[in-house]
Amino acid sequence: MTPSAGMPARPIAVLVEREGLGDVLLKLPLLRAIARGFPDCPIWWISTHQTDMAGPLRQFMPGELAVVREHAGLGKPLREAARRLREYPGFSLIFDTRSRIANVWLARHILAHEKFFCCLPGYFLSSARPPGRFTRPRHIGERALSLAQAALGAAADASGALEATTAARQAAQAVLPEGPLYVGLGVGSRNARKNWPIEKFAELSRSLSGRGMAPVLLLGPREIERAEAIRAAVPAFASVDLTGSSAGSGSFDFTIAIAERLAVVVANDSGTGHLFAAAGRPIVSLFGPTDPRRWAPFAPLRKTLWAREFGGEAMECIPPQAVSAAVEEILGRTGFAAMPSRMPR
């Protein structure tokens, strides 16, 4: 979309529902693809409810992201949503990632636009389908990205990784100096049902250490409160407070910098796991009650282990031996051997 000479580009709108950290990061490939495919158009990110895109994470997003609005009230009641929609300017393109047909229909018929793309079943109400597709992907992130493919009429460039600042990298290097082959252990999540048992992380950590690797405990806000107990239970080369408080750096910035120093990460289905994947780390992703076919993180290299593959739905069904083997497989595929001298920069 190229504006007429002397005319500013009409913005692009991305409509979302409610987004935690993982939800935002699953849509990051869509944002990158739009920013690259339509570089002259500023992007508006409009959330019906809360979105983590409006928080500290935004500073790491593509510069084309011009406006982020949360609590936009574009859901129920529909009469109020219609009133709010009429307050928006015209858009060149609209990408509606929501799944409620009434809300999508309302946005399509009220918002002024040139083309409208949505991922309802069969791409109903969308101006176009992705080339060669008649059904939407099951994976939430791939489903969103398919809208950029529909708009471009071709494959979309969604490559890239979140990058830390120089200050955060210096803080991370002080915590994890050059030398060992670091393997991150993301032991927590927002929902306790999605957590692999600590005793299994302990068994994994001992196994990795015995193979010449340096396990690193990754402790988010929910784990910091019980950090001493976790450290006592899980032998590790180091433990890292991902809130960034001890490093004097913002939590997202510091977490991304720590990610850059890890060869691979083992993590539960969590926002932290998604963040490490978005920072370009290979990941062994552990799933139990949630479905990895829908929620697995985007990562340059990923091995997903689902409890159902081992006879149940509870996280404890996943054996440490399978996780250790997955770590070894990823290290082999990335060219790193379990030797301290092979630590990536």
Q: CATH number, domain at 75? A: 3.40.50.2000
Distance, in Å, from the CA atom of 275 to the CA atom of 238, rounded to the nearest integer, reads 20
314 occurs within a structural domain: yes
Assess whether 141 and 235 both reside in one domain. no
* Domain range enclosing 332: 166-342
Q: For residues 52 and 24, is the Cβ–Cβ distance under 8 A?
A: yes
Residue-level pLDDT at 250: 63
Assess whether 84 and 210 both reside in one domain. no
Distance, in Å, from the CA atom of 257 to the CA atom of 241, rounded to the nearest integer, reads 12
Could you tell me how far CA 255 lies from the centroid of its own chain? 13
Of 52, 44, 60, the residue nearest 18 (C-alpha): 52
Residue-level pLDDT at 337: 57
Assess whether 133 and 259 both reside in one domain. no
332: Cβ contacts below 8 Å, ≥ 6 apart: none
Assess whether 136 and 178 both reside in one domain. no
Assess whether 211 and 309 both reside in one domain. yes
The amino acid sitting at 167 is: A
Last residue of one domain, picked from the residues 129, 152, 175 = 152
116 occurs within a structural domain: yes
Quote the number of domains for the chain.
Answer: 2
Kindly report the length of the chain. Answer: 345
Assess whether 138 and 176 both reside in one domain. no
Assess whether 119 and 176 both reside in one domain. no
Q: What is the H or E stretch that residue 216 is in?
A: strand 214-219
Distance, in Å, from the CA atom of 11 to the CA atom of 102, rounded to the nearest integer, reads 24
Assess whether 140 and 170 both reside in one domain. no
Q: For residues 88 and 110, is the Cβ–Cβ distance under 8 A?
A: no
Assess whether 171 and 252 both reside in one domain. yes
Q: pLDDT tens track of the chain, all 345 residues?
A: 544 444 568 999 999 999 999 999 999 999 999 999 999 999 999 999 999 999 989 999 989 999 999 999 999 999 999 999 999 999 999 999 999 999 999 999 999 999 999 999 999 999 999 999 999 999 999 999 999 999 999 999 999 999 999 999 999 999 999 999 999 999 999 899 999 999 999 999 999 999 999 999 999 888 888 899 999 999 999 999 998 655 545 689 999 999 999 999 999 999 989 999 999 999 999 999 999 999 999 999 999 999 999 999 999 999 999 999 999 999 999 887 554 434 333
Residue-level pLDDT at 246: 53
* Residues 244, 230, 325, 254, Cα dihedral to 10°: 0
- The token duo for 137 is 């992907």
3 state SS of 132? coil
Please tell me the number of Cα atoms within 13 Å of 69 on its side-chain side.
14
Of 101, 85, 32, 100, the residue nearest 62 (C-alpha): 32
Assess whether 79 and 178 both reside in one domain. no
157 occurs within a structural domain: no
Assess whether 292 and 195 both reside in one domain. yes
Phi then psi dihedrals of residue 94, to 5 deg: -125, 130
Of 191, 219, 187, 193, the residue nearest 205 (C-alpha): 187
161 occurs within a structural domain: no
Q: For residues 176 and 238, is the Cβ–Cβ distance under 8 A?
A: yes
Distance, in Å, from the CA atom of 235 to the CA atom of 318, rounded to the nearest integer, reads 20
201: Cβ contacts below 8 Å, ≥ 6 apart: 185, 187, 234, 266
The amino acid sitting at 200 is: K
pTM score, whole prediction: 0.91
Could you tell me how far CA 333 lies from the centroid of its own chain? 22
| Total Cβ atoms within 10 A of residue 162 | 21
1 occurs within a structural domain: no
Of 265, 256, 261, the residue nearest 208 (C-alpha): 265
The bridge status of strand 214-219 relative to strand 182-186 is: parallel
Assess whether 83 and 175 both reside in one domain. no
